[in-house]
């Protein structure tokens, strides 16, 4: 079955880069996502990548996908205190018509 794994915690200093890693098991996953959840709030879509892509960059965010190893990473450059949140990795077979399978989330703490 589908499974998504993430490390639970990451602590970085303000201004450093953060790298959050994720592994998934379903080789037929077509779309992979990163969501951000702040305390008491819903999910904010940060970025997503199609499985035929290796990398996607959007301002401070860089997503790397290693399809062979089923490994996804999210790099946040120049991490700010406002980036402190829980980051969820998720996968789906296609974008809109199938539900997402989420990892347990990585809690990012940014130290000033």
Q: Report the interface residues with another protein, using CB under 8 A.
A: 31, 33, 35, 40-45, 48, 88, 94-97, 99-105
For the CB of residue 1, give the shortest distance to another protein in the complex, in Å. 11
For the CB of residue 26, give the shortest distance to another protein in the complex, in Å. 14
Which CB, 14 or 56, lies closer to another protein?
A: 56
For the CB of residue 44, give the shortest distance to another protein in the complex, in Å. 8
Cβ contacts of 80 within 8 Å, gap of 6 or more: 14, 110
Which CB, 7 or 14, lies closer to another protein?
A: 7
| Beta carbons of 31 and 92 less than 8 angstroms apart | yes
Residue 103's alpha-carbon distances to 13, 30, 58, 80, 81, in angstroms, are 24, 16, 22, 23, 23
Which CB, 24 or 33, lies closer to another protein?
A: 33
Rounded to whole angstroms, the Cα distance separating 72 from 81 reads 23
């Amino acid at each position: 079955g589908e499974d998504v794994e993430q490390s639970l915690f990451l602590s970085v200093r303000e201004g450093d880069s953060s790298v959050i890693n994720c592994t998934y098991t379903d080789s037929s996953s077509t779309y992979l996502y990163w969501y951000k959840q702040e305390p008491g709030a819903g999910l904010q879509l940060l970025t997503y990548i199609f499985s035929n892509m290796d990398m996607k960059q959007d301002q401070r965010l860089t997503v790397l996908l290693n399809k062979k190893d089923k490994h996804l990473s999210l790099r946040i450059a120049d991490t700010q205190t406002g980036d402190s949140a829980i980051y969820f990795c998720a996968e789906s077979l296609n974008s809109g018509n199938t539900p997402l399978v989420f990892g347990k989330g990585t809690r990012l703490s940014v130290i000033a």
